[in-house]
Structure 1
Amino acid sequence: MITLYLSFSFLILGVYMITRYFFKIPFRTFLFEGKRPDFRKFAIYFAWYFTALILYLLVDVALHPQAFTLNFDPIPWLGVLVVTAPLVLFQSAAEEILFRGYMYRMFRSLRGSAFWSILVTSLIFALLHGFNPEMLHYGIFGPLYYLLVALFLGIVAYHTNGLAAPIGIHFATNMFNTSIWGYGTSTLENMGLQNVVYRHTLDMPFAFFGIFVIVISYVAFQLFKHKRNRS
């Protein structure tokens, strides 16, 4: 797992080389759009989304108790968490730098439409994540889940005007999947991770419904905030 996650350094290196030497843009300027990193926004979105995932898990356990096994051993869990958390943050940031950073701005410069950029970037994200053997095991809901997640991250990046919030959400998602719960057929299952609970089989339609509720709630909140600010 350490080797796998550290390989994302090549992704960041690629974006750095293109922005710095091809487009002649300092990487810090590209990454933060001339501003400082917004750690407060990162923390808020991480905490909010991680809480939403915990609520989703509690609902899932309440509705399908037979599908879960308690798997918590605090000392090994804490040890693995200390090692994996920085790696997961690095991997999450690397993907957001590529998709909601470089690719989004590239398509935005070609067509000038935020909607177009979010859609195309999300389709690419879904193709790379949703069509791997693990997700195809669940049929169409695997690719649809990742498409909806990518659209959500694109919308968040657009509304927050930066990468801090989507990185926080991406980090929360991956930490949840590597430390809070595990599930059958997961590619991370045999990498020495320690989870609190284990779901024997992933209910992908239920997971899709869960992320759908979160996305709709966020969009409704943004519309409400926009309407209130206008009035």
Structure 2
Amino acid sequence: MYIAQAFKGLHEWWRYIIGILIIFLAVVIGQMPFTLAVLFKTVSDGGNAFGMTEAQMMTVLEPNLNLFLMLLSFAAGLVGVFIVAKYLHKQSIVSLTTARDKIDWKRFWFAFILWGFVSTSFIFLDYFLSPEDYVLNFKLVPFIILCVIAIALIPLQTSFEEYLFRGYLMQGMGVITKNKWVPLLTTSVVFGLLHIANPEVKQLGYIVMVYYIGTGLFLGIATLMDEGLELALGFHAANNLFTALLVTADWTALQTHSVFKDTSLPGAAGFMDVFMPVFVIFPVVLFVFSKKYNWNNWKEKLFGTVEAPIIESENITNN
């Protein structure tokens, strides 16, 4: 059982409190180059560096430099998660990733290729249905630089989020609460709420939080049903990577030298923006996963109890 992998390490509740603080500190340290660069550029241009919103900070630097510096904080956070797991919890990266004996990279690549194909298809479909909403944004040299940055760092960004929410926090809350539904729902809601400062929320309205929380729930279900992070890691990496390379907009968090730029200004998010992915597309993807990997016993895997392995209980008794 995936959550029970935490029992292989030190899992007292206070270790998770300290671990979260260390991970947060790692993210802050990783964000310092971006913050300093934005402040320096703003002051150099004669602007006011104080009181800037996150959306305003995203537009100060050249897009490729902005993306590189922004993603450093996530890379630092991922290092923080691994350090906390290894030294504070004495837990291996494998047991933080999966209940299998080793990480199944075939699962990662299946989810990555599947969602890469699906998400790319939706982008091109929307382009052909509404070409007036797009302009060609392609410039060879900036795009090549974007590819290098995105391929190197976006998987680290998405892996940090997966290891933190579907890995570290889900396992930690599971061994503390002794059930699965509390960590599943809690990590999904927190994952969604941490996106509330994104410029997409301001443009589309708070209804878009249904998409963020729904995405967290989808990834959490995939993790628990498959007893590992591999599918979630592949899906999330493909989602962010192909989006960054193919399309950008003035009102999105990722400002890149992508192939296309969406010039439309959507109002309140509608069915296609929010509800269709969460209530139609994601369930279909889960169905595909379930058939390929023979998922069963959904009730137990999503709502069952979390118990320490018998071997550990015997050791405690003997001691």
Report TM bin, short chain: 0.7 to 0.9
1:60 aligns with 2:126: yes
Give the match for residue 119 of structure 1. 185
Give the match for residue 173 of structure 2. 107
CA shift for structure 1 position 222: 5.3
CA shift for structure 1 position 196: 1.5
Q: Counterparts of 1:172-211 in structure 2 under 5 Å?
A: 172-189=238-255, 193-201=256-264, 203=266, 204-205=269-270, 206-211=272-277
Conserved in 2, the CA contact under 8 Å of 1:131 and 1:143? no
Q: Which amino acid in the other structure matches residue 85 of structure 1?
A: I
- Between the two proteins, the alignment pairs up a number of residues equal to 227
Conserved in 1, the CA contact under 8 Å of 2:134 and 2:261? yes
Q: CA RMSD in A?
A: 2.6
Conserved in 2, the CA contact under 8 Å of 1:130 and 1:145? no
Select 1:218's aligned residue among 267, 276, 285: 285
What secondary structure sits across from 1:137 in the alignment? helix
Give the match for residue 117 of structure 2. 51
Structure 2: 5+ residue stretches without partners:
1-66, 298-319
1:160 aligns with 2:226: yes
Distance 2:215 2:224 in 1: 14
- Residue deviations 1:136-161, cap 9 Å, x none? 33112321111111111111112222
Q: Counterparts of 1:127-142 in structure 2 under 5 Å?
A: 127-142=193-208
Runs of 4+ in 1 over 4 A off after TM superposition: 222-230
Select 1:10's aligned residue among 53, 76, 91: 76
Select 2:156's aligned residue among 75, 87, 90: 90
Could you tell me the TM-score, scaled by structure 2's length? 0.63
CA shift for structure 1 position 163: 1.5
What secondary structure sits across from 1:7 in the alignment? helix
Specify the structure having the higher radius of gyration (Cα).
2
Give the match for residue 22 of structure 1. 88
Q: Which amino acid in the other structure matches residue 148 of structure 2?
A: V
CA shift for structure 1 position 209: 3.6
Conserved in 2, the CA contact under 8 Å of 1:88 and 1:175? yes
What secondary structure sits across from 2:204 in the alignment? coil
Distance 1:47 1:82 in 2: 19
- Residue deviations 1:189-224, cap 9 Å, x none? 2xxx32111111364432224423221212344566
Could you tell me the TM-score, scaled by structure 1's length? 0.85
* Percent of aligned positions that are identical: 26
Q: Which amino acid in the other structure matches residue 3 of structure 1?
A: L
